[in-house]
Structure 1
Amino acid sequence: MDSFLLRFLLADEQVLTMLDGVRLLNTNNDGILLVTNFQFLFVSKGEKKKLGTIPLTTIAKIEDITVLLQGKIKQSLQQEQAVRSIQVTGYDSRILTFAVKSNHNDQGTVVACLRKYAKPADLRGLFAFRNLSVPRAVDNRVSPEFRLLKEYHRFFHKWFSHSPSTSFEIQKVLENKWWRVTNINSDYSLCQTYPAHLRVPKTISDEELKEASKSRKKMRFPAISWCDSGSGAVLARSSQPIAMMDHNEDVKLVYAFCTPRIKPTDEFSVNRKLYIVDCRPWTSAQANKLTRGGTESASTYQEAEIVFLGILNIHDIRGSFTGLREYVNAYESIHQVDSLEWLNYIRSILVGASWIAEKIAQESASVLVHCSDGWDRTTQLVGLASILLDPYYRTFSGFQAVVEKDWLAFGHQFAKRMGLPTLGEKEQPNEKEISPILLQWLECIAQLMRMYPSAFEFSSIFLVDFMDAVLSCRFGNFLCNSEEERARADVVNSCPCIWEHLADMWASCGMVHKHMNTFYNPSKYTGAIVPPASALTPILWPEFYLRWTCPLESQRESDYVEALKSKKDAEPRSTVAELEGSHTDVAKPSGGNCRLRVVGSNVLM
């Protein structure tokens, strides 16, 4: 193997097979194909740079096909009318096509190797377990459990140099007048897909929690995700209720979120309003009754208002993403983007999260959110509403906190949604369970950043790189389906940590990095941001979807940032301030004046 190829490999990366005399039809470059234990790598011979590189676990489909070539491409390949080729489709929306000269007999070997290593048979076959050169998160100061408790410390306005080590210490330290942290699930015996420590109402005992969990699917009882320390309003989450069950303890738990108002006003009474938000369409919720699911009954939960958001399930999302991927790789009329269901689904999530944020921020109401299982649509909405409500979550450290709290600790099924093996499963992952749920959420954040460019510490490029890192399986944080599975697999001690990697990378680059938002102004948005429904019209996310087919379009933001940095170095501070001020926000809510206009409980269906 040529020595210049080695510089494109990671420290623990090994070449499995290689194929010379290949053309990347996307760019019309000749080069060498390599399959490693981490990625599918194409290196151009002329420019000696990597093109068309894709991590193995990011590959959605591999096809050994024949492509009919025309014009100059056909002439350069010795007038062959039909050329054997390899087409690779990625979960990151790209489609790569490689033409192989007909005298090559190794194409089948390359395809077989790709299919074997792109979908390893067991969890420890993933590159994260082989990536030995990256330091491990080996002590409790950086363990996921400690980081979650650190977020709970912030919730209670407390901080300690060590994590509470005993059940008594946790329950004594992490509590206030209304809420407490329980270790009822410390061994994951109550709910395997919930975190070891949960925030719950102080008036509800552990025994009552156990009883309440029996009336929710997969024992995912209502638990607190976020609380407004100023008003006492709560954002909680759960799974759907089980039909034909006694819901007395569940009703008591849900009503416990309605604490008395800390600062009653003339407009709102002492009693706090409670909303139960079902992410699904009403018809889907009713259909779940056939499998002992369903939704809350107004006659049982009389003190709550039940709202349906009409957000479709993972199967609809998977289908719409396939259409989007074909669109961005087809170079067809831009007007066809209007017919893409994907953008409609993005808008429904944005509107739903904004609706939730409005009720908490402007009515001081408590909101319980659930879908069916409570780990897909629920996670999207709760995570996005948290970002709208709390400016801390719009910083780097806050983004990490909300990802670890709502996506990792509360059991989003990363392995199922990415088609990866997990602990103890011998069967191949079910392709019908694959769906880009995390990508949708990140795209919603990118849409908000377009509206509020100075509200976020991180850039859109950071979100792109973060999504790529998750898909690559280079780090252990997003393996398996729950905190419990990652604990049993000893992921913390066996795999590198993405947060440590990012921190080291930022530290090595000093204060300037493409992940940092040049326009960030924390003093401008010190509280909740609630965009009006009329402003929630998403556009195609160029930094993510156009980077392969239209790289110049996708780089406009980074080019502008580079230009601004140059001006900052060359011009006086006052001039720079004027330049930053010229980049105005699309929507500027001021205090509580910008309300989301929603009439009726089923308007979003």
Structure 2
Amino acid sequence: MYICPFMGAVSGMLTVTDFKMYFKNVERDPHFILDVPLGVISRVEKIGVQSHGDNSSGIEIVCKDMRNLRLAYRQEEQSKLEIFENLTRYAFPLSHGLPLFAFSYKEKFPVNGWKVYDPVAEYKRQGLPNESWKITKINSTYELCDTYPAIFVIPTSVKDDDLSKVAAFRAKGRIPVLSWIHPESQATITRCSQPLVGPNDKRCKEDEKYLQTIMDANAQSHKLIIFDARQNSVADTNKAKGGGYESESAYPNAELIFLEIHNIHVMRESLRKLKEIVYPTLDEARWLSNVDGTHWLEYIRMLLAGAVRIADKVESSKTSVVVHCSDGWDRTAQLTSLAMLMLDSYYRTIKGFEDLIEKEWISFGHRFAVRVGHGDDNHADADRSPIFLQFVDCVWQMTKQ
């Protein structure tokens, strides 16, 4: 029996496979169906259901799409333990020593998904390589940076030895690499992680020269804008932990701008608050103030505003920009991909949007599985955060402007 928050108890047949949970009631017209892919489940718990007569025990399924589902059983049913065990086993395969469903699924597809995105073809579309930028395979064995793709674009004049020193000075070895180049001005968007300046303001002459080379590759401007997605206060705190940001004394032709975007923990809490006000019931009288209290739309606005500033510097000021946060795989991916979506109409096609996500998110190491907790039953993991969901919301907002 499904305890529906909108229509009360609904009896029916429950089926659990290694892919989804399926509940169906055929007595209602139209038929009542509940179809839940197991990958969307965040938590499964045994509960007591005291107000439904014989149906005195059951399970609560907390989903990542904001649904909370309650199922009740009759006391004499022997299958309730089996249902609970199968749900937890297949919803969280990694926690039970099982492969993810994608690796056990045997269907043959007409398109090889691994070849949907061709980085060389994408860079060629942008007019690369050229006299200032080259495609390098120095990371073909992922030894320079294990969270970067095998192929990326760097300034032509940079030597491999210098590149290794730059990698040692950037968090996780995530050096500045090109994401997009303007077809007319040659102004670029490059992405990276924070420099490891630490509390003593350590410097790296190779890194300083590297950013100067990025600036010099654009003859339209004698300035480089560094967008740090973080709050200034947080970036200062990171200095005490060995991280930090570029000082304008070490990078004299660069301007540092903090976008003041909050971290993954703040975003996770914002989504939690949003879920509380939309499910299972809405408070129509206080709806606007409740939404405002979650700060979700405020954070969406901050991301869009940051992307607009990046796009404007490249398009209107013809100035190259560098974008980073701490590790360069969350807020950085949000900002670069949104700015590129604004600047390049190709990314506003289906194929182009595929390439954008494959390049800026997947190939450059966004931690999809960790951020959504895919296959893992540790629902309280502090590394979970709706980073890609925010990006999708931002894209939706852009389509409505």
TM-score with structure 1 setting the length: 0.61
- Could you tell me which residue of structure 1 aligns to residue 354 of structure 2? 400
Does residue 54 in structure 1 map to residue 25 in structure 2? no
Query: Would you say 1:35 and 2:9 are equivalent positions?
Result: no
- Give the distance between the partners of 1:52 and 1:96, measured in 2 at CA: 10
CA contact (8 A) 1:41 1:50 kept: no
Identify the structure with the greater strand proportion: 2
- Deviation, structure 1 residue 81: 8.8
2:155 is the counterpart of 1:181: no
Query: Which amino acid counterpart does residue 110 of structure 1 have in structure 2?
Result: I
* Equivalent residue, structure 2, for 1:352: 306
Q: Does the Cα contact within 8 Å between 1:356 and 1:385 map onto a contact in 2? A: yes
CA contact (8 A) 1:84 1:101 kept: yes
- How far, CA to CA, are the matches of 2:161 and 2:98 in structure 1? 38
Task: Return the alpha-carbon distance in structure 1 between the equivalents of residues 371 and 358 of structure 2.
Answer: 17
Q: Does 2:259 correspond to 1:309?
A: yes
Contact 2:180–2:188 (Cα < 8 Å) also in 1? yes
CA distance, structure 2, for counterparts of residue 430 and residue 93 of structure 1: 16
Q: Look up the equivalent residue of 1:290 and give its one-letter code.
A: A
- Report the TM-score, using the length of structure 2 for normalisation: 0.91
Alignment of 1:279-428 (within 5 A): 279-329=229-279, 330-333=281-284, 334-335=287-288, 336-420=290-374
Alpha-carbon distance change, 82 to 421 in structure 1, aligned in 2, over 3 angstroms: closer
- Give the SS at the match of 1:301: coil
AA partner of residue 203 (structure 2): D
Mapped partners of 1:186, 1:377: distance in 2: 26
1:131 aligns with one of 71, 95, 105 = 105
Q: Secondary structure at the match of 1:125?
A: coil
Match of 2:213 in 1: 256
SS at match of 1:42: strand
2:391 maps to amino acid: W
Cα distance in 2 between the residues matched to 1:149 and 1:24? 53
Deviation at 1:282, TM superposition (A): 0.7
**Letter of the structure 1 residue corresponding to residue 212 of structure 2:** Y
- 1:437 counterpart = 2:387: yes
Q: Specify the alignment match of 1:497 in structure 2.
A: none
The residue identity in structure 1 corresponding to 2:155 is P
Alignment of 1:152 with 2:123, yes or no, is: yes
Instruction: Determine helix, strand or coil for the equivalent of 2:273.
Output: helix
CA distance 1:124–1:184, change in 2 (3 Å):
farther
Contact in 1 for aligned 2:39/2:375 (Cα 8 Å): no
- Alignment partner for residue 117 of structure 1, among 81, 86, 90? 90
Q: State how far apart, in whole Å, the 2-side matches of 1:57 and 1:209 are.
A: 40
Check whether the contact 2:346–2:352 (CA below 8 A) recurs between aligned residues: yes
Find the aligned partners of 1:361 and 1:109 in 2 and give their Cα distance: 59
SS at 2:179 equivalent: strand
Task: Determine the C-alpha separation between the residues in 1 that align with 2:136 and 2:68.
Answer: 47
Q: State the partner residue of 2:25.
A: 44
Structure 1 stretch displaced more, 409-418 or 57-66: 57-66
Ranges in structure 1 where 5+ consecutive residues have no aligned partner: 1-21, 75-79, 157-173, 263-269, 452-605
Tell me by how many angstroms 1:50 deviates. 6.3
In 2, the alpha carbon distance for the partners of 1:112 and 1:387 equals 44
Q: Distance in 1 between matches of 2:139 and 2:341?
A: 27
What secondary structure, in the 3-state scheme, does the structure 2 residue paired with 1:239 have? coil
Shift of 1:134: 3.0
Q: How does 1:398-547 map to 2 (within 5 A)?
A: 398-420=352-374, 431-451=381-401
SS in 1 for 2:12: strand
Which of 190, 195, 202 is residue 236 of structure 1 equivalent to? 190
One-letter amino acid matched to 1:31? G
Residue 4 of structure 2 is aligned to residue 25 of structure 1: yes
How far off is 1:419 after superposition?
Answer: 1.6
The Cα shift of 1:180 comes to: 0.8
> Secondary structure in 2 aligned to 1:241?
coil
Cross-structure match for 2:203: 246
Q: For residues 276 and 89 of structure 2, what CA distance do their matches in structure 1 show?
A: 25
Partner residue, 1:277? 227
**1:261: how far off?**
5.2
Letter in 2 for 1:449: T
Contact 1:260 1:271 in 2 (8 A): no
1:377-426 C-alpha deviation (Å, 9 max, x unpaired): 1111111111011111111011001001000110001121122369xxxx
Contact 1:272 1:364 (C-alpha < 8 Å) held by counterparts: no
Per the alignment, residue 143 of structure 1 pairs with 114
Partner of 2:66 in structure 1?
A: 93
Q: Deviation digits for residues 439-480 of structure 1, max 9, x if unmatched?
A: 1100000011111xxxxxxxxxxxxxxxxxxxxxxxxxxxxx
Matched letter for residue 256 of structure 2: I
Q: Deviations over 1:508-564 (max 9, x none)?
A: xxxxxxxxxxxxxxxxxxxxxxxxxxxxxxxxxxxxxxxxxxxxxxxxxxxxxxxxx
Identity %: 36
> Is 1:416–1:430's contact at 8 Å kept on the other side of the alignment?
no
- CA 1:183–1:403: 2 relative to 1, 3 Å: same
